[in-house]
């Protein structure tokens, strides 16, 4: 039995029928490197061997009565691998848009909360004999870098090679505790909550004091950039409108050579993350112009950063903080947009390192999970479409392996992340890098971004603009 962290609990608390907080990883394979037919049966045998190294696959969630403390993961005594495996054909001709339509339907389905919160879909019907899998997991189980850690457990760097040493499977699940037992187990944690709340409030106070000091200093000398974005301060955009009823996911992606990204990085003195944010900004600007919705100023963006230390680098659970940025969609010049973003990310990351605390986690350490759920649902149901979004959008960047990987003998060609969505934040961009490529995947809702592929297409256009632009001047950016 393992209690969820406050950050993991947040994802359970915010999950509901309209906005299920699971994400999905789409993996496309060339099975010609496999010595055996690459079927779901073959893949199942591979996964069965790996179960001792994949604890989240056999753990189900058990809630504490009345949400008094965080829920726990328990080993599911009724776990059956077959319950989590499915197969589906991709309609002809099996191209990217047909594949995206299939994962949109899969991604819109709820997970079965009576079982461990994951499933895997084996997808056939792609051109040239290619195969794909869609692996869905609840965000309470795993974050982006946790997904990378899981990939290293499942994949190999040589075709048909044995995976890393697998321990003997000594898995012995215990009976799922009753609600009465869960209530008794929660008493020590409840007793510690005032102490943890005090620490969390102290952490928040430190952050707020530092921000106040920085604000005073900023008034004494010209700021390098108008970087940080306050929560709930963004303009109301079409993709921030709450969908009526249960929304449907829609997904599109752009595949970009890392050689081009590195050229831009060297040419303009920025980071790979800056390039990802710049092309996302350009694509959103184009979409907003096309929909007569371009605001007069920037939009707000959350940008998760990994907070793992060396000691917990292989952890699956959520270990991240979110930096808040302003994306300059109102700026026409590509180099000026990139300069603003570069200055903003530099400043924001320095602030995260200096804070020594996770603001998101501290906020939810103060309140019991059940009360937090009541507050969130009450605000949303009371305000309806006027409920503010924390950010206009979120852009996450997950660095994957730089070498080719193989799963049960098949070579992984590309990967795309279909992101979870929540109240007022339906458009999320996930950037992954793998084996010399960058995959930028945009997840939206069909109800308010039905033309999501135009966003992916504009990213390629912005890459071309940045490659053809003269080197930008180095040094602090002096614009607004």
Per-residue pLDDT tens digits for 335-352: 999 999 999 998 887 776
Per-residue pLDDT tens digits for 87-135: 999 999 999 999 999 999 999 999 999 999 999 999 999 999 999 999 9
Per-residue pLDDT tens digits for 52-65: 988 899 999 998 87
Categorize the per-residue pLDDT at 369 as very low, low, confident or very high, splitting at 50, 70 and 90: low
What is the average pLDDT across 275-286? 98
Q: 181: how many CB neighbours lie within 10 A of its CB?
A: 12
Per-residue pLDDT tens digits for 232-268: 789 999 999 887 788 999 999 999 999 999 999 999 9
- pLDDT at residue 150, as a whole number: 78
| Residue 382 confidence (pLDDT) above 70 | no
What Å distances lie between residue 178 and 111, 189, 370, CA to CA?
22, 18, 18
Residue 398 sits at the vertex; the CA angle it makes with 395 and 400, to the nearest 5 degrees, is 155
What is the average pLDDT across 186-200? 50
Q: 43: how many CB neighbours lie within 10 A of its CB?
A: 21
- pLDDT at residue 201, as a whole number: 43
pTM for the whole structure: 0.85
| Residue 329 confidence (pLDDT) above 50 | yes
- pLDDT at residue 197, as a whole number: 44
194 CA to centre of own chain: 31
List of long-range contacts for 169-175, beta carbons under 8 Å, 24+ apart: 169/51, 169/52, 170/52, 171/51, 171/52, 171/58, 171/75, 172/75, 173/58, 173/74, 173/75, 173/76, 173/77, 173/79, 174/1, 174/74, 174/75, 174/77, 175/77
Q: 375: how many CB neighbours lie within 10 A of its CB?
A: 12
Categorize the per-residue pLDDT at 323 as very low, low, confident or very high, splitting at 50, 70 and 90: confident
User: Which of 320-329, 379-388, 467-476 reaches the highest mean pLDDT?
Assistant: 320-329
Instruction: Indicate the average pLDDT of the chain.
Output: 83
- pLDDT at residue 262, as a whole number: 97
- Give me the percent of the chain exceeding a pLDDT of 90: 56
- pLDDT at residue 199, as a whole number: 47
- pLDDT at residue 423, as a whole number: 82
Per-residue pLDDT tens digits for 390-401: 899 999 998 889
Per-residue pLDDT tens digits for 20-48: 999 999 999 999 999 999 999 999 999 99
- pLDDT at residue 295, as a whole number: 98
- pLDDT at residue 354, as a whole number: 63
- pLDDT at residue 163, as a whole number: 72
- Give me the percent of the chain exceeding a pLDDT of 70: 76
Q: In terms of C-beta density within 10 A (0-12 exposed, 13-18 middle, 19 or more buried), how is residue 102 classed?
A: buried
Q: Which phi and psi (to 5°) does residue 61 adopt?
A: -90, 135
Q: Which of 251, 230, 400, 370 is nearest to 301 (CA)?
A: 230
Q: Which of 436, 403, 429 is nearest to 257 (CA)?
A: 436
Can you read off the two tokens belonging to residue 372? Answer: 């937090």
- pLDDT at residue 311, as a whole number: 57
Per-residue pLDDT tens digits for 304-320: 876 645 555 445 555 65
- pLDDT at residue 318, as a whole number: 54
Q: In terms of C-beta density within 10 A (0-12 exposed, 13-18 middle, 19 or more buried), how is residue 108 classed?
A: middle
- The rounded distance, in Å, linking the Cα atoms of 121 and 24 is 10
More confident site: 160 or 270:
270
Categorize the per-residue pLDDT at 294 as very low, low, confident or very high, splitting at 50, 70 and 90: very high
- pLDDT at residue 375, as a whole number: 57
Domains detected in the chain: 2-184 (3.30.559.10), 226-468 (3.30.559.30)
What Å distances lie between residue 355 and 202, 331, 397, CA to CA?
12, 31, 21
Categorize the per-residue pLDDT at 182 as very low, low, confident or very high, splitting at 50, 70 and 90: confident
- The rounded distance, in Å, linking the Cα atoms of 11 and 156 is 31
- pLDDT at residue 126, as a whole number: 98
- The rounded distance, in Å, linking the Cα atoms of 121 and 183 is 36
Specify the range with the lowest mean pLDDT, choosing from 5-19, 26-40, 144-158, 274-288. 144-158
């Amino acid at each position: 039995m393992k209690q969820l962290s406050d950050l993991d609990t947040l994802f359970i608390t915010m999950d509901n029928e309209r906005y299920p907080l699971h994400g999905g990883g789409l993996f496309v394979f060339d099975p010609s490197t496999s010595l055996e037919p690459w079927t779901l049966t073959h893949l199942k045998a591979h996964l069965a061997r790996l179960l001792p190294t994949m604890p989240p696959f056999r753990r189900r969630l058990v809630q504490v009565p009345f949400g008094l403390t965080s829920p726990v993961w328990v080993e599911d005594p009724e776990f059956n691998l077959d319950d989590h495996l499915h197969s589906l054909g991709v309609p002809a001709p099996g191209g990217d848009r047909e594949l995206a339509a299939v994962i949109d339907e899969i991604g819109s389905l709820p997970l079965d909360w009576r079982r461990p919160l994951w499933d895997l879909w084996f997808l056939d019907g792609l051109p040239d004999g290619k195969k794909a899998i869609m692996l869905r997991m609840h965000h309470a189980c795993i974050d982006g870098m946790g997904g990378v850690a899981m990939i290293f457990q499942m994949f190999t760097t040589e075709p048909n090679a044995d995976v890393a040493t697998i321990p003997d499977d000594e898995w012995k699940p215990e009976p799922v505790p009753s609600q009465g037992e869960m209530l008794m187990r929660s008493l020590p944690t409840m007793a510690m909550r005032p102490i943890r709340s005090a620490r969390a409030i102290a952490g928040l106070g430190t952050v707020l004091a530092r921000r106040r000091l920085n604000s005073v200093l900023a008034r004494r000398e010209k700021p390098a950039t108008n970087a940080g974005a306050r929560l709930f301060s963004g303009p109301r955009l079409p993709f921030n409108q709450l969908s009526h009823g249960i929304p449907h996911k829609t997904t599109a992606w752009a595949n970009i050579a890392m050689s081009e990204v590195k050229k831009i990085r060297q040419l303009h003195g920025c980071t790979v993350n800056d390039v990802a944010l710049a092309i996302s900004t350009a694509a959103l600007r184009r979409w907003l112009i096309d929909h007569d919705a371009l605001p007069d100023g920037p939009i707000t963006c959350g940008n998760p950063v990994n907070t793992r230390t060396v000691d917990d680098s292989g952890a699956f659970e959520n270990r991240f903080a979110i930096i808040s940025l302003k994306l300059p969609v109102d700026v026409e010049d590509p180099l000026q947009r990139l300069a603003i973003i570069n200055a903003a990310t530099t400043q924001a990351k320095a602030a995260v390192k200096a804070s020594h605390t996770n603001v998101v986690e501290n906020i939810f350490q103060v309140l019991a999970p059940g009360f937090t759920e009541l507050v969130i649902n009450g605000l949303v149901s009371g305000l309806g479409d006027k409920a503010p979004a924390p950010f206009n959008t979120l852009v996450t960047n997950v660095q994957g392996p730089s070498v080719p990987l193989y799963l049960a003998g098949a070579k992984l060609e590309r990967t795309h992340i279909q992101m979870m969505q929540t109240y007022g934040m339906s458009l999320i961009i996930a950037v992954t890098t793998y084996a010399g490529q960058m995959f930028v995947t945009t997840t939206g809702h069909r109800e308010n971004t039905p033309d999501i592929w135009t966003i992916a297409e504009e990213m390629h256009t912005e890459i071309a603009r940045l490659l053809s632009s003269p080197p930008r001047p180095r040094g602090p950016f002096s614009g607004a």
